[in-house]
Structure 1
Amino acid sequence: MKDIILKAENISKQYRLGQVGTGTMAHDLNRWWHQVRGKENPYLKIGDVNDRSTKGTSDYVWALQDINFEVERGEILGIIGKNGAGKSTLLKILSRVTAPTTGSIKFGGRVASLLEVGTGFNGEMTGRENVYLNGAILGMTKKEITSKLDEIIEFSGCERYIDTPVKRYSSGMYVRLAFAVAAFLEPEILIVDEVLAVGDAEFQKKAIGKMQDISQKGGRTVLFVSHNMAAVKQLCTRGIVMENGRIAFEGKIDTIIDKYLNTDNNVSSIKKYTFNEAPSSEVIKLLEAEVINDKSENKLDFLINEKIGIKIKFEILMETDDIILGINLYNNEEIHILSSHQKNQIQNYNKGIYQTIVWFPGNFLSEGFHFCGVAAMSYKGFFRVHFHDINKFSFNIIDGFVENTARGIVYKGKFPGVVRPILEWDNVIAI
């Protein structure tokens, strides 16, 4: 039989745009009038879905709508989705920071949460005093807090400043101490929003290891929101993907991450062109482009230390000795990151089909989605662009190593990007 520690039933949250609170006095009176007559709140029938990319037609918006899920004791649940999907709103409701418009939540234990930097801390009080304050809020006695105090201070790495008012802490110190308090004061349910992104790589590794420990050894439950798919994949056992205020799908963490990455932005790691749509000139036509690993396997997701290849297949339509291929790389905000093209490769092309590969070395690009376009140019006499493909294909970089140890999979940290890369191009071969 399942040991359910948290159950959300039909959770919805409605906001009125541009207003503080639920609206005007007239609206409040209208709600009251419907209530005394035993009728439903009229404003529950209106409102747009939570899609930040559209203008909408109503002053009301459903930040969350019809959220239902269960969490078992000792489970680590990952909650992922785009910015604005409703993840933080859901965590605020689960943390009792705000109330749902409709629905209910059943808890089977004490809840501690890290929603944003400094939440629950009094800036005028010292770090030590805030530890006791947060412990008291969690319902712990002074003796219980004191027994954990040394571990909290050591884990946070803030020992030198523990008797300094926290208003003088950096955002990283805030997060370190807040996480240590939440993790070591033994709540049955720990809720962690994106705040760990504020910490450095060393602290993120410690925090993820601690969350694994409290789940596996302490039997406590963790709800974890992050855009770092490596951390989610290595920490969580099950996941939920949110989209426009609803649960799009849920299930095993590997499955839901694959679904999320493959549906987000309609991404694809391979692009095959039909005869009519292929970018071309009278000299050259682009046939296919795909992302591969060093085993020549088509792939979408790469760890940051993996080598990434862009294989380009093209057709020469007339003999030429003046074709140079190039690529343009964009990040997930469509910002142009880099360009690269073949150098010192003068080749006489006969009519036929050819391919080449350009390689990105490992530990090279930063995390996230990258979109790639292909171009073909001529330089002799005058510069000419034969085509510049705008139907970008893509790949995703997950920021971190994984390492199997005696205590399970460990997240290994981050690497910096490279500003001025020199990419390796394979020789063109006829196929």
Structure 2
Amino acid sequence: MSSAIIQVEGLGKKYRLHHEQRERYTALRDVLVQQARQLFQGRGNDAATEEDFWALKDVSFEVKQGDVVGIIGRNGAGKSTLLKLLSRITAPTVGRIHLRGRVATLLEVGTGFHPELTGRENIFLNGAILGMDRVEIRSKFDEIVAFAEVEKFLDTPVKRYSSGMYVRLAFAVAAHLDPEILVVDEVLAVGDAAFQKKCLGKMSDVASREGRTVLFVSHNMPTVMRLCRRAILLDRGSIVMDGPCAEVAHRYMNDGKFTGAERLWEDTAKAPGNEFARLLAVRVLGPEGRPAPRVDITKPVTLEMEFRVLQGGQVLVPNLHLYNEEGTCVFVTGDSDPVARNTPRAPGFYRSRVEIPANYLSEGGHYVNAVVSTINPVILHFYERDAVVFHVFDEMNGDSARVDYAGPYPGVVRPKFPWVTALSAPSPAVN
């Protein structure tokens, strides 16, 4: 008998897509004529087609107790579908799932809690769903509330919680009610940085100290590599790689579909964004103006973002967030032009660029998050994590802050400041 706590064999999930094709009308009379035609002739010229779409196909793997496994892949790869099947939110079309133990899930914001119930009531509800009695839940209650930092709002219906408060409580409930398997989706991105760090520490603890199993979905490769020893890469519903986390993450970041220093969205309708703005492209450009996956530390580097404004009336500010491979924020920069920050943008195509000077960044991998936001009130029109990635290297030719030092060089940035050291007269205080 297998020692695996999770066994997945030949798993597949099929959806049937219904497409309805209607005639294009140019005037109201055309609509009326077509509707009259349908009364006498049935559907007239309408054509309906159906298409089978496999969100997952022939997926098989095992996970042992105490493992922390990252599930990675592009949007639409099947990650969330897999987690929903494992969480029994939906049933597979084919294949088999065998789980040894209780499963607690933290998927998209809004699942798992009843909006009309208070935070207190939802804690007991989720415990009951996991099969715990009230005595067991009470023994964990104070710990859950303290971790979530929602003491003042405990008796408020969760529909009145902010998304951050909701996620804090949802994670605390999922992690503290002693499930054997904890399933966590990208939802943690909603919380603030301090709470994200707290959650990652808790997930590590429940695996290493408590022997529980964690499945973690994220687009943040530094976070996945820090938390997980193993990763599964999905693409178009199938497993393309399963192995050591660093190797799988490297494959994902260097896949032809994830183009490293340049990423394009050719179909505006499918691009990140909303009805006001959509992201079209993000690039890392070297001194020659071409996409550069590797950047010399002694050369400037340009970050470029293209976006389209679909509707006027919003003040739209482009921002770029830079993270290193440890998941530490190096800097956040945005268009500081006072006119642009106070004037609604007209519909059209826009390109934003910012140049990072030579001898500023440190060595290693860097990840760029592309953002367009409205400042007042704060609205994120799109926030594309890890849109592009690039690597900074130092040839150690004497032109960087290292000069000829080859040892460890800490710091999230490595500026080369002008130094002056010269022979001088002693200070009066020196004997």
TM-score bracket, normalised by the shorter chain, equals: 0.5 to 0.7
How far apart are residue 265 of structure 1 and its match? Answer: 2.9
3-state SS, counterpart of residue 17 of structure 1: strand
- Equivalent pair of 1:86/1:243 in contact (CA under 8 Å): yes
Q: How many pairs are equivalent?
A: 282
3-state SS, counterpart of residue 163 of structure 1: coil
How far apart are residue 60 of structure 1 and its match? Answer: 1.1
Alignment match, 2:389: 395
3-state SS, counterpart of residue 267 of structure 1: coil
3-state SS, counterpart of residue 88 of structure 2: coil
- Equivalent pair of 1:302/1:397 in contact (CA under 8 Å): no
Alignment match, 1:99: 91
- Equivalent pair of 1:294/1:307 in contact (CA under 8 Å): no
- After TM superposition, the structure 1 = structure 2 runs for residues 238-387 of structure 1, keeping only pairs within 5 Å, are 238-265=230-257, 267=259, 291-292=294-295, 294=297, 302-303=324-325, 336-338=351-353, 340=355, 358=358, 361=361, 367-368=367-368
Alignment match, 2:214: 222
- After TM superposition, the structure 1 = structure 2 runs for residues 12-91 of structure 1, keeping only pairs within 5 Å, are 12-18=12-18, 59-91=51-83
How far apart are residue 267 of structure 1 and its match? Answer: 3.0
Rate the CA distance shift 1:307–1:135 in 2: closer, same or farther, 3 A: closer
Task: Identify which range, 69-78 or 120-129, moves more after superposition.
Answer: 120-129
Q: TM-score when scaled to structure 2? A: 0.59
- Equivalent pair of 1:175/1:199 in contact (CA under 8 Å): yes
Equivalent of residue 163 in structure 1, options 149, 155, 170: 155
How far apart are residue 221 of structure 1 and its match? Answer: 0.1
Supply the AA of the counterpart residue of 1:180. Answer: A
- Equivalent pair of 1:307/1:362 in contact (CA under 8 Å): no
Q: How many angstroms apart in 2 are the aligned matches of 1:58 and 1:69?
A: 31
- Equivalent pair of 1:2/1:72 in contact (CA under 8 Å): no
Matched, 1:111 2:103: yes
After superposition, what is the alpha-carbon deviation per residue over 1:32-61, rounded to whole angstroms, capped at 9, x for unaligned? xxxxxxxxxxxxxxxxxxxxxxxxx96111
3-state SS, counterpart of residue 172 of structure 1: helix
Structure 1's unaligned 5+ residue stretches are 20-56, 271-284, 309-333, 342-356, 371-393, 399-414, 416-422, 425-431
Q: How many angstroms apart in 2 are the aligned matches of 1:239 and 1:208?
A: 16
CA RMSD of aligned residues (A): 3.6
- Equivalent pair of 2:71/2:231 in contact (CA under 8 Å): yes
Taking only the aligned residue pairs, the percentage that are identical comes to 50
Matched, 1:210 2:202: yes
3-state SS, counterpart of residue 18 of structure 1: strand
How far apart are residue 254 of structure 1 and its match? Answer: 0.5
How far apart are residue 115 of structure 1 and its match? Answer: 1.1
Rate the CA distance shift 1:361–1:7 in 2: closer, same or farther, 3 A: same
Q: How many angstroms apart in 2 are the aligned matches of 1:247 and 1:293?
A: 35
Alignment match, 2:336: none
How far apart are residue 305 of structure 1 and its match? Answer: 6.2
Rate the CA distance shift 1:247–1:162 in 2: closer, same or farther, 3 A: same
Rate the CA distance shift 1:306–1:121 in 2: closer, same or farther, 3 A: closer
How far apart are residue 295 of structure 1 and its match? Answer: 8.9
Alignment match, 1:7: 7
Task: Identify which range, 242-251 or 10-19, moves more after superposition.
Answer: 10-19
How far apart are residue 105 of structure 1 and its match? Answer: 0.3
- Equivalent pair of 1:293/1:307 in contact (CA under 8 Å): no
How far apart are residue 116 of structure 1 and its match? Answer: 1.2
